[in-house]
Amino acid sequence: MSEILNLSKIYKSFGAVQALIDFNVSIKEGEIVGLMGDNGAGKSTLLKVVAGNFLPTSGNINFTGNDVVFNNPNDARKSGIEVVYQDLALCEHLTAAKNIYLSRELKKYGFLLDHKKMNNGSQEILDQLNSSARPDDLVAGMSGGQRQAIAIARTRLSEPKIVLMDEPTAAVSVAQVPVILKYIRNLQKQNIAVLLISHRLPDIMEVCDRIVVMRLGEKVCDKKKIDCTPEELTGLITGAIKSA
């Protein structure tokens, strides 16, 4: 497996607050890496740096062998990075189809939206995800699981090389957790890498190949899953264990 993403010496600060400090990590093709840490550890900031939402204060991002600078989410998307955000970034007043295709709308005659094509495409993806959400429904009336499906469905519009997922199982019902974990494993089968941020230790232990732990903006652990124990990970997250 070749390396797909390499972050080296990434720093990110917001005024006096150091959100990321000398952060280094590499992810290979088809690898599932779990990213854990307490609130404020810098996980979501890291995700947004990779997704093009934030420029790093300093450091280098190498993606598929090239040094890259993502000035906006579109740059990252075009390179093959798809994201499922923690708050899902859905627009409640839009339909499921319009949310799925947001900023990648399908057009006909050069400028008119192709509603039919977007609805059909959305239905196909939602069926693959076993979601009961319908393309014509407004997101405002949907359950947590249906919303999560819409956010995940966005990642199916392109052929990504890596999918970044921020707490994808946090807001769904117990019954839907296995569906999402199965989806993550399916991505791996297609040789797509996944960076999975989660507070749920069982999810991380079930699907990840490697686990990275962050504390106060720094990496304190980067080990294969088989070398980790839940007790050690909990200690690293809380600070009871300084590093591993």
Partner 1 sequence: MNFLEIITGPKEGNVADPRIAKIRKNLNNLGVFFLVAIIWITLSIASPHFGTQSNITNVMRQSSLWSIIAIGQTVVLITAGIDLSIGSVVGLASCIVAIMLNKGYPISVSIIVTCLSGLGVGAIHAFGITKGKLPPFIMTLAGLTTWFGVALLLTGAMPIGNLPADFKAFSRGSVIGIPNLFWCVIGVMIPTYIILNHTRLGNHLYAVGSNRSGAELNAVPVTRTIFFAYMYSSLLASIVGILVAARLSLGIASNGFTWELQAVASSVIGGTSLFGAVGGVFGPVLGATILSTINNGANLLNFHPYWQRILTGVIIVAVVFFDQLKNRTK
Query: Which residues, in sequence order, are CB contacts of 2 under 8 Å at separation 6+?
Result: 28, 29
Among 23, 54, 63, 85, binds partner 1 (CB under 8 A): 85
12 binding partner 1? (CB under 8 A): no
Angstrom distance (rounded) from CA 96 to CA 102: 10
Angstrom distance (rounded) from CA 18 to CA 45: 11
What tokens does 27 get?
Answer: 């992810």
Parallel, antiparallel or unpaired: strands 210-215 and 58-63: unpaired
Query: Which residues, in sequence order, are CB contacts of 149 under 8 Å at separation 6+?
Result: 126, 129, 131, 133
Among 39, 111, 175, 189, binds partner 1 (CB under 8 A): 111
Angstrom distance (rounded) from CA 88 to CA 193: 20
Shortest approach of partner 1 to residue 70 CB, angstroms? 11
45 binding partner 1? (CB under 8 A): no
Residue 118, strand partner residues: none
171 binding partner 1? (CB under 8 A): no
Q: Binders of partner 1 among 63-82, rule CB under 8 A?
A: 72-74, 77
Among 6, 13, 62, 143, binds partner 1 (CB under 8 A): 143
Please check whether residue 70 is in contact with residue 52, taking contact to mean a CB–CB distance below 8 angstroms: yes
Residue 167: count of CB within 10 angstroms of its CB: 20
Total site size for partner 1, rule CB under 8 A = 36
Among 92, 124, 227, 231, binds partner 1 (CB under 8 A): 92
Shortest approach of partner 1 to residue 100 CB, angstroms? 10
164 binding partner 1? (CB under 8 A): no
The one segment of 4-12, 92-100, 194-202, 235-243 that binds partner 1 by CB under 8 A: 92-100
Please check whether residue 154 is in contact with residue 129, taking contact to mean a CB–CB distance below 8 angstroms: no
Among 91, 185, 227, 231, binds partner 1 (CB under 8 A): 91
Shortest approach of partner 1 to residue 85 CB, angstroms? 6
- 219: which DSSP letter? E
Which residues contribute to the site for partner 1 (CB under 8 A)? 51, 53, 72-74, 77, 83, 85, 87-94, 98, 102-103, 105, 107, 111-113, 115, 132-134, 136-138, 141-143, 146, 154
